[in-house]
Amino acid sequence: MEVICDINQLDTSYLNKPVVTLGTFDGVHLGHQSIIRKLVEKAKEKGKKSVLVTYQPHPQLVVDPKTAPFVLTTLEEKLYFLKRLGLDLTIVIKFNKEFSEMKAEDFVEKILIDKLNAGELVIGYDHAFGEKREGRLELLEKKAQEFGFDLEVISPVKNDDLPIKSTRIREAFKSKDFESGISMLGHGYPILGERVKGRGLGEKLGFPTINLKVSERKLIPQNGVFSAEVRIEKKLYGGMVYSGENPTFEEKHRSLEVNIFNYRQKEEKKKVFLFLFDWIRPDLKFSSLEELKKRLKKDEKEVKRALQQKNSKGGLFANRETKKTRAY
């Protein structure tokens, strides 16, 4: 998948009536996946390029920063999933004040037609765009006739009889319903972190951890212990992730750290990619280090059991690497 972060650098001769979709795609959840898979399918049928247009940062951060949500996926996390859906091209438009004030009709003409030369547009049932999100399906139907591009509207994917939306997933995580959030995502919850120096307490307990720093706009689910897959470059490991304030040590700041199973590499890669799958237990305060160590041993068994059960079902969307890349 090619990625272009400046639409003005796009070589228009590269595109000949591509099949296009638009959106923020925060989380790349099951609803998003349905749209993108249809996009890729239509493009292959027509022998055209599949093109996805997304925005950075999250539009709400520009339009109304006070109500802007913490994101389910940073740009790099989002691109990881988009690449695995078979897209030919993703265009990342810088969402700034000027862009937010573009009229919906101007967006269609200047972006869809002049820049992308779109032959077909595939969108979700509730898609809105342009200044104040005034561009809706009615306008697109009118413009499709005017400019001669095809338009396909994708129905919602539902969970508990309600459409899956990024907002619902955020609400699930905020209300500590991790299982529900994961079921709507359709893949492990991604957290791309940068390795930072910790206190070395895990090493002393026999569970060495890598401490991670993540984007300040990233939504981190509830505190506790999680099962996870850990991607370091192209290799996957099983891991036990802790997110919390370390009440046993009476720390005041939240930490995110991962104990990686069978990780013996000496080189310290800066970036570590986590995929959280199961919430194992809440954050707890222990009366002694020995009590904490016993609990960590129990956690490790539960995490490994959860990962084995996941893999026995054929793995999930986030991890379609070959078995040779797995280290657990």
Give pLDDT tens digits for 193-213: 999 988 888 888 999 999 999
**DSSP structure string for 29-97:** -HHHHHHHHHHHHHHHHHT--EEEEEEES-HHHHH-GGGPPPBSS-HHHHHHHHHTTT-SEEEEEE--H
Q: What is the CATH number of domain 2-161?
A: 3.40.50.620
Rounded CA gap, 221 and 217, in Å? 13
Q: What is the CATH number of domain 187-325?
A: 2.40.30.30
Rounded CA gap, 32 and 163, in Å? 11
pLDDT attached to residue 102 = 97
How many CA atoms does the CB half-sphere of 303 hold within 13 Å?
28
Domain ranges (residues) in the chain: 2-161, 187-325
pTM for the whole structure: 0.93
pLDDT attached to residue 321 = 46
* Parts of the chain with a pLDDT under 70: 265-267, 312-328
pLDDT attached to residue 199 = 80
